[in-house]
A and B are shown apart, each in its own frame.
Chain A
Amino acid sequence: MSGELTTERTPHTVVAPIIEAHDIVKRFGGVAAVDGVSIAVPPGEVHGLVGENGAGKSTLMRVLAGILTPDNGSVLVDGEQLEAGSARSALEAGISLVHQELSLVPEMTVAENINLGFTPTRAGFTNRREQRRIAAEALDEINVSVDLDEPIARLSVALRQFVEIARAVARKPRILILDEPTATLTPAETDYLLDMLQRLAERGLAIIYISHRIPEIFRICDRVTVLRDGKHVETVDIAEIRPNELVSKMVGRDLEQDLQSHREPTAPGEVVLSASGIRAHGVNGIDLTVRAGEIVGLGGLVGAGRTELVRAMIGADVRSAGDVTVAVDGSVRRINSYQSAVASGVAYIPEERRTDGLALTMSVSDNIALPNRRRLSRNGVLLFGRIAEFAKRLAHDVGLRPPEIRRAAGDFSGGNQQKVVLAKWLGREPDLIILDEPTRGVDVGAKVEIHRLVKQLAENGAAVLVVSSDLPELLELSDVIHVVRDGRIVGTLSGIDADEQSVMSLASGEASGSAA
């Protein structure tokens, strides 16, 4: 593949790739996160890497940087193969990765952070002068001015991001990899960063740029590689593709088939959830209503503020502004705390099932009993017979396999664990159920069963709110889809009209406005 690439971009000047990856495979417990991907980037090129959440972009980049050891395939710099899974070998070859999560030490200064892991020493002591010189040079290179002695904790999120890049640049890389560097930046800061990357590329660096944001890809990239479900879809010259085509390639499934599986819309009932002016960390003023019998979907990219929104609405996290009410059978209750939400008939299936959803060391039966303890006890004493009967019935309803309610929840597979989380809340017969990524990390069979349960809940008159980054799932379940970006609803689509492309376009900022 590399041979063909060398002539592809600039036919008049044949440039050999500086970095190549051949046939990379990386599995996590049997699931291939990256499945036979090859990529080659010549010096001076900004190479975009796009794909949906879970497409394998970050995993591939971690393989390139030697952080993960691939199960198959090799990484070459200047035609020389790197030691697999050796971060040092990658660094020495000139590969620098700007991490997705900020990896700076908040208590240490800018200069100390830029040199972190490579602190210059003299006779065993930190050479402070050299440390400052290296830091100043790196910041100068990316044209950012910041006090070298300022602790990171006192910098804005954007400045921290730039320090992170300076840290990568200080290693004098020849290949710079950036993973969603603009996720936390404002438009002006993003502009600045993109200009900076272009300047670095002009100086001969090869840059691999991961982003969900289509406009950014079109602005700075020379070529773009699309990944989907861990597989390499296509590498194209940016001049030869239009934004909507790129989005289709990212999404790429049989759209006709997805439309068919959309559920029959039910006549919505009374408004159950009514939220207005919600503001919280990552949420910038959102209004939302969900009616009885209706499934409302929240689409958007990971980090768009959907989880933050639902958690702030129901009081699981702090809300800085906004009103939330839940109306059931004519009685309207204001939601001021998570406990008041649960007491008002709200069920919340959190995103992180292992840390937030289940007590893994406790039995399935205990987990199911937890939110239902009041009806399973008398005067504070547990009624074991009733608990066993109750748990057995719900485990059967959700199709737990094997149906062994006395086993620890942690012994079950992800799909079955998720069924236990559902069983906990189904037992309360909730009037409003909020599901955050209900089938993440769940096998296909369990996914179908969970979808069936969610639809059944709506048919029985519950108001349902689903957060999902899984587009086919969102389309299959939702009557209405609100697309969230940067903590705001940027578009609302009816479940019938929506397709993967329209949701993705709104989510990535390629299109804007309401299409409903």
Chain B
Amino acid sequence: MTVESTVEVGETPEPADPEVGVEQQDFNALEWVSQQGVFVFTALLLIFAGIFIDGFASVDNITDVFNRAAPIGIVAVGMTFVVISANYLDLSVVAQVATSAVLLIAVSNSYNMLLGMALGLLVAIVYGIVNGVAVGVFRANAVIVTLSTTFVGLGLLRWASGGSIYFGDPDGVIATFGSTEIGPFPLAMLVLILVTLAMHFVLTNTTFGFLVKSFGSNRHATRLAGVNTPLVVIGAFTVCAFGAMLGGWVLAAFSNTAVSSMSAGFDFEALAAIIVGGTSVFGGKGSVLRTLLGVVFVSALTNIMVLSGYGFGYQQMAIGALIVLAVSVDALARKVGRS
């Protein structure tokens, strides 16, 4: 009895005049806020902070903001692929970042740095495939899958490391990388910019990036165009895992230490940056350049709170509230845009 209902109601009524092929476009304020708001808000925030917050515009503080923003930014840029593919997010970046950081420092101390990096790369590929297969092939829910792989990954890391803190060689390559600055800009910032540009190219100029967007916009239509869609999803999670791996290395270098708990909160801070940047959680639309801007906004906001004496608890509240606000505006804009 599941027949015919769509036929009877003529599901897509047509404009009477076939010459007028395009529907009238009304201005949608919510859509404007969710798409363009980040530019205005970021500019306002930076101007406000520059004028009213003591110490915000100092070279030391800017270097500090960049150092903290770089690892989260690199993670967020990679995760943008998962969000655009309409698979919500990858929570397991928390485990991935910590694993890659611990592997880098611990293996460098015991063997050599390149082996640590190679193992990190291997771990990233495993995460990309496991998350990607569960979500892309079995069509399991991405939130639940990546929440679970976080659990497994962090459990494995704690078991292997015994929860210990690894300190890097203070004169080693890693420590040197972490402490090198060009003016107020730490080297980590350069890595963030390079990664963003590379990922931007992948997203906008390659067939793979095109398919990620297309899948996020309509997975059925993409499959019916003859695309191997599970591979697209595995690809998106793998790109995300590469971002998390690089983010873990940069994070380890900055403090020259590594511990399994060091990346707590990366999942939500990265998500906040992506969504505030204007990439839609409904998928199909977005850009890594926007994510970069979102990272600037979130990092500046956090820094302002630190400088104003609001502690970690307040920062958490602010990030959480920001996500709720941003996804609500995104969803509302879409709802208004449809009706």
Contact = CB atoms under 8 A, between A and B. Distances in A.
A56 B9 CA distance: 7
A380 B5 contact: no
A415 B284 contact: no
B221 A356 contact: yes
B226 interface: yes
B313 interface: no
Interface string B9-35: 111111110111111010000000000
A478 B15 CA distance: 29
7 contacts: A100-B2, A301-B4, A341-B226, A366-B210, A380-B208, A412-B21, A414-B12
Contacts of A180: 1, 3-4
B268 to A, nearest CB: 26
A442 B218 CA distance: 21
A239 interface: no
A380 B13 contact: no
Interface in A447-474: 469
Given A100-B5, A180-B4, A441 B10 contact: yes
Contact of B8 (A59, A184, A339, A353): A59
A380 B231 CA distance: 15
Given A377-B207, A441-B14, A402 B1 contact: no
A404 B226 contact: no
A28 B4 contact: no
B226 A342 contact: yes
Contact of B7 (A31, A53, A179, A338): A53
A281 to B, nearest CB: 12
A58 B284 CA distance: 35
A29 interface: yes
Interface of B: 1-5, 7-16, 18-23, 25, 205-208, 210-211, 213-214, 217-218, 220-228, 284-285
Contacts of A33: 8-10
B224 A338 contact: yes
Given A370-B225, A381-B206, A360 B21 contact: no
Contact of B22 (A316, A367, A407): A407
Given A400-B21, A402-B22, A414-B14, A183 B224 contact: no
Given A359-B222, A361-B285, A380 B206 contact: yes
Contacts of B224: 316, 338, 348, 350, 356-357
B13 A402 contact: no
Contacts of B207: 373-374, 377, 380-382
Contact of B10 (A31, A301, A348, A359): A31
Nearest to A354: B12
Given A338-B224, A362-B213, A382-B210, A413 B23 contact: yes
Contact of A29 (B4, B14, B222): B14
Given A366-B210, A441-B11, A446 B18 contact: yes
Contacts of B221: 355-359, 367, 370
Contacts of B211: 373
Contact of B218 (A348, A355, A424): A355
Nearest to A341: B226
A131 interface: no
B161 to A, nearest CB: 38
B1 A100 contact: yes
Interface of A: 28-31, 33, 53-59, 99-102, 161, 179-181, 183-184, 301-303, 316, 338-339, 341-343, 348, 350, 353-362, 366-367, 369-371, 373-374, 377, 380-382, 400-402, 404, 407, 411-416, 424, 440-446, 469
A382 B220 contact: no
Given A302-B3, A469-B7, A402 B21 contact: yes
A101 B226 contact: no
B207, B211, B213, B285 pick with most chain A CB within 10 angstroms: B207
B22 A302 contact: no
Contacts of B4: 53, 58, 100, 180, 301-303
B218 A443 contact: no
B5 A101 contact: yes
B267 to A, nearest CB: 26
B199 to A, nearest CB: 15
A359 B227 CA distance: 13
B10 A28 contact: yes
A371 B226 contact: yes
Contacts of A414: 12-14
A370 B227 contact: yes
Most interface-central of B8, B23, B206 (chain A CB within 10 A): B8
Contact of A443 (B2, B5, B14, B284): B14
Contacts of A56: 8
Given A30-B15, A401-B19, A414-B14, A440 B284 contact: no
Nearest to B19: A401
B8 A54 contact: yes
Q: Considering residues A33, A404, A443, which has the most beta carbons from chain B within 10 angstroms of its beta carbon? A: A443
A302 B221 CA distance: 22
B1 A413 contact: no
Given A184-B1, A359-B217, 17 more contacts: A29-B14, A30-B15, A100-B1, A301-B4, A302-B4, A338-B224, A342-B226, A370-B225, A373-B210, A377-B206, A382-B206, A400-B21, A402-B21, A411-B22, A413-B15, A443-B18, A445-B18
